[in-house]
Structure 1
Amino acid sequence: MPDNAKHRKRIILIASSILVLFIIFILLYIRIVITPPPLPIPEGERRMDQFDTLQIYPTVQNGREWFINMQDPFDDEIVSFNSDITLDQHSDNSWRVNSSKVRLRVDTLPGQEEWKNVEMTGYIRMISSTLTAGSNEFSDHEEGSEDGDSLDPHLTWRARGGRHNDMVPCEGTALNGGLYFDGKVSWKKEIWHTGGYTDARGVSEIPNFLVNKWIGWKTIMYNLENDSSVKMESYLDINANNNWNKISEVEDNGKWYADTSDEEFYSVDCGKEKDYVITNSGPTATFRADNLIFDFKNLSIREIIPP
C-alpha cells in the first residue's frame, strides 16, 4: 500500500511538472511567435522620400504623393486649415502650432485619384496640453470631439472620407490613427460623423515616451482580399533617427461595430451597416490635433503598393 501511494504521488508530481512546462511553452510561444517584438526595417530594403524619411511601403507607380511646403504650409492649392489656426516657424524651419483645434486637410483636385491605400508620415514634438483643470474644448457633437474623448490631448491622422461636419454627415467616414499625449496609440473607425464611431482597437503604450522631443509618426492603411477588408498600421521613430518600428496594427473584415445605439446610428441614412468596412477611397486626408501645442515638420502622404 505504501508503495502504491508513493507511485501515485510520483505520477502526480511528473504530471504537474509536465503541465507547468506546457504552460510555460505556450506563454513563450505567444510572446515570441504570435506577438514578436517590433523589428527595424533591414538596411537593404530602405527607401527614402524627398525629405529623406524612410518609406515603409513603396509608392505605387504614378501614384499620388504630397509633401508639405516647409517654407509656407499655407501656400498649397490642395491644403486647407481651420480658419483660426496660427503657425510660427522656428529657426530649424519646423513649425509651432498654438491652437486647441488643428485640421490640416489635404484634398483632391478634379481628375486626381482620391486617397485610398496611403502612408501618412511626419515628425512631431509634443509640447503641452492646452487644457486647464475642468475645461472641455469641444462638446460631443462638434467636429472637435471623438465620441466623448476630446479631453485627451492627441494627434489623429486619418483618411478615406470627405468633410467632417453635421451638414454632410455621411461624408465623414475615416480610419483614424491616434497618438496621445500620454503615449497611448490606437485606431478608431468613423462610419459617419459623428454617430458612427467605434471603440478603439490596436491600443498600446509607447515605452519611454517623452514629450518635448522629436519623434516620427506614421499611419498606414491598405485594402486586402480584393478590397473586402482593410489593414491599419502605426509606426514610430522614437529617436527621430529613421529607425521605424511597428507599434500597432488592426485588420477590419467586419464585426467592428459603431458603439452608438441603433437608434442614433440609423438616425442618419448613409446606407451603411453598423460594422461597415471602410474599403472606399476618399477625397480628403487630414492631419488633426486636439488640445495640444506641438511642433511639426516633413509631413507627407503617399499612395502605396500594399504588401
Structure 2
Amino acid sequence: MSQSHALKASRGGWKRHAASTGALALLVSASPALAASGFSAVTASGNDGNPPSATVDGNLSTRWSSLGVGQWLRGDLGAVKSLSAVDIAWHEGNKRTNTFVLATSTDGTTWTTAVSTKSSGTTASFERYSFTARDARYVRVTVNGNSLNTWASIAEWAAIAGDVTAPSGKDRFGVTMLYPSKAGGEAWTLADSATSDRRFDAQNPITKNSDGSWKMKDSQVRMSVFTSTGYDDNKIPTYDRDVLTSRGYMQAANDWKNIEMTGFVKLNSVSDTSDNFDWYARGGKHNDDHSGCEGSSYKAGFHYDGRARWQKETWHVSYEQTPYKAATSALKGRWVGFKSVMRNILVSGQTAVKLEMYVNENADKVTWKKVYDYTDAGKWGGDAQHCGGATGGMPITWGGPIAVFRWDNAGDVDFKWLSVREIQP
C-alpha cells in the first residue's frame, strides 16, 4: 500500500536532529497539542515525509509513517514520571491490525517492555494500552508491521501519567471509572444525605432504603446535577449555536461537557416496557423558554426491555435517534449499572463528539461492557438553524450547566451510586 509523502509541520514547528541510533528523526517544539499529549518532544527512527510531529498535533487526519519492520516512535515526558498507559490512534486502524511493542525508560538507554501486543483493527480512534504503573521519562513504540504491509503509521498518541487503576480508578463508591478524570475538573457523586445536596435536584420526593440506596416513586423523573458554579439562566448570554461552538460552553467554562456519567438502578414496577432511562448532558433546562434553545443534549437511552440507542436533541423538542442495539436482558427486578460517556474528538481536523454507552449487568461495579459507540461528526440531524446555527447537523460540542438522570413510565425505581465526572477527552 502506498503512503502519501505530503509533509505537514505541527503548529509548534519541527526541526531535524540526529537520533542516538544515527537514524534520521524529527523533534517537535512545544505547542498546545504537544502539551496535551503528555510529551515534551517526539522523535522517530525515520519517516516518509509524514513526520513524528504529526502524532501530537491534535489532528487524527495527519500521521507519522515509516516503512519497514522495527520502525519506532519515541516520546519524551520531559522528566521522570509515573506512567500507567499509552493511548494510540493508528492510521487506518479500522482496516488493519498493527503488531507492536511499547517500552519505557528512565534514561533513554535502558528499556523495559510494558506491552507487546496487536491493535484491535476495529477503530481509527484512540485505543488504550495499560500496564502496571512505573517510573519513566521516555516511551517508545516499535512497530513490527501490520496485517497488510510493513508500514508503521500512527495518527496520534498520548502518555497517561499516574495510576489509572485502583484506587484512583474507582470512585468513592468503589465503582470502576473507565476514563481518567480531568485534573482539577468538575466532579459530583450522590451524597449520603442526597436530599440536602444543593447540587442535586431530584424534583420529586425520594426516600432512603435500608441498604443505603434511594427510592423514587414517580412516573416522570428528571433528577438534575449542577456543576459547582450552579445554574442560572440569566448568566447564559446567548444560545446561538455558532457562538456556543466557538467558546465551548453555555453558562460557564466548567459546564458539563466531556463527561462520564454513571448510575445504578433497579426497576421495580413499570407501565411501559418500551420506555427507558436517559443519562444526558450538554445543555440546560428543557422547556419552551428561549425558543427551546437551552434544551440541547445527547441522551444515552437504556430501555427497560434491554435495548439501547443515542438521541440527539439539537433543541427542545427536536430529536434524532440512532438505531436500536441489544444491550442486555430486560431490566425489571435486578440491579444494573449504566454509563454514558460523551467527549469531543477530532475527525478530519474538525471537532466531533464521541458517544459511548456501557452496562454493568451484574452490578459488581467492575465488569463494564460497551454496548454502543457512535460519533457525531456533523451529519446527524439537520435543524440547528432554529437556534442560529449555520450548519443544520452541527454536533453539540459545547458544555451545559446541568446533567440529568431521567426516566418515564416506571412507578417504582431504586437508585444508587450516581456520579458525573469531567474526563480527559
Shared fold, TM over 0.5: yes
1:63 — aligned with what? Answer: 185
Whether the 8 Å contact between 1:234 and 1:249 is mirrored in structure 2 is: yes
Letter paired with 1:213: R
**Within 5 A, what are the aligned runs for 1:94-133?**
94-108=213-227, 109=229, 113-131=254-272
Report deviation, 1:153. 2.4
Report deviation, 1:122. 1.5
Deviations 1:152-186 (A, max 9, x none): 32110101001100113101100100101100111
Report deviation, 1:43. 9.1
From the superposition, tell whether residues 62 and 269 of structure 1 become closer, same or farther in structure 2 (CA, over 3 Å).
closer
Pick one of 194, 205, 210 that aligns with 2:326.
Answer: 205
- 2: CA distance, partners of 1:213 / 1:42: 32
**Within 5 A, what are the aligned runs for 1:152-231?**
152-168=274-290, 169-194=292-317, 196-201=318-323, 203-225=324-346, 228-231=351-354
1:137 — aligned with what? Answer: none
Larger helix proportion of the pair: 1
Tell me, yes or no, if structure 1 residue 253 matches structure 2 residue 374.
no
- 2: CA distance, partners of 1:213 / 1:43: 34
C-alpha RMSD over aligned residues: 2.5
Q: Which sections of structure 1, spanning at least 5 residues, go unmatched?
A: 1-28, 36-40, 132-150
Whether the 8 Å contact between 2:305 and 2:329 is mirrored in structure 1 is: no
From the superposition, tell whether residues 53 and 269 of structure 1 become closer, same or farther in structure 2 (CA, over 3 Å).
closer
Letter paired with 1:107: F
**Identity over aligned residues, as a percent?**
34
Deviations 1:75-113 (A, max 9, x none): 11222233xx22122110111111011111112326771
Larger strand proportion of the pair: 2
Tell me, yes or no, if structure 1 residue 290 matches structure 2 residue 408.
yes
Letter paired with 1:64: E
From the superposition, tell whether residues 271 and 123 of structure 1 become closer, same or farther in structure 2 (CA, over 3 Å).
same
Report deviation, 1:279. 0.6
Give the count of matched residue pairs.
241
Higher relative contact order (CA 8 A, sep 6+): 1
Report deviation, 1:275. 0.8
Deviations 1:120-174 (A, max 9, x none): 011111122145xxxxxxxxxxxxxxxxxxx832110101001100113101100
Letter paired with 2:356: E
- 1: CA distance, partners of 2:374 / 2:326: 15
Tell me, yes or no, if structure 1 residue 236 matches structure 2 residue 359.
yes
| 1:54 aligned counterpart, secondary structure | coil
From the superposition, tell whether residues 105 and 232 of structure 1 become closer, same or farther in structure 2 (CA, over 3 Å).
same
From the superposition, tell whether residues 185 and 107 of structure 1 become closer, same or farther in structure 2 (CA, over 3 Å).
same
| 1:156 aligned counterpart, secondary structure | strand
- 2: CA distance, partners of 1:286 / 1:218: 13
| 1:182 aligned counterpart, secondary structure | coil
Report deviation, 1:33. 5.5
Whether the 8 Å contact between 2:264 and 2:337 is mirrored in structure 1 is: yes
Deviations 1:197-246 (A, max 9, x none): 11234x31134344211111100000001761000101111001121111
- 2: CA distance, partners of 1:233 / 1:100: 27
From the superposition, tell whether residues 117 and 269 of structure 1 become closer, same or farther in structure 2 (CA, over 3 Å).
closer
Q: Which sections of structure 2, spanning at least 5 residues, go unmatched?
A: 1-96, 98-119, 124-128, 133-163, 231-251
- 2: CA distance, partners of 1:43 / 1:53: 20
Tell me, yes or no, if structure 1 residue 74 matches structure 2 residue 215.
no
Of residues 213-222 and 45-54 in structure 1, the stretch that sits farther from structure 2 once superposed is 45-54
Report deviation, 1:42. 7.7
- 2: CA distance, partners of 1:43 / 1:235: 22
Whether the 8 Å contact between 1:227 and 1:279 is mirrored in structure 2 is: no
From the superposition, tell whether residues 227 and 172 of structure 1 become closer, same or farther in structure 2 (CA, over 3 Å).
farther
2:175 — aligned with what? Answer: 53
Letter paired with 1:256: W
| 2:293 aligned counterpart, secondary structure | helix
| 1:246 aligned counterpart, secondary structure | strand
Deviations 1:14-47 (A, max 9, x none): xxxxxxxxxxxxxxx9xx9549xxxxx9896531
Whether the 8 Å contact between 1:170 and 1:270 is mirrored in structure 2 is: no
- 2: CA distance, partners of 1:123 / 1:105: 16
From the superposition, tell whether residues 155 and 93 of structure 1 become closer, same or farther in structure 2 (CA, over 3 Å).
same
- 2: CA distance, partners of 1:167 / 1:115: 21
Letter paired with 2:180: P
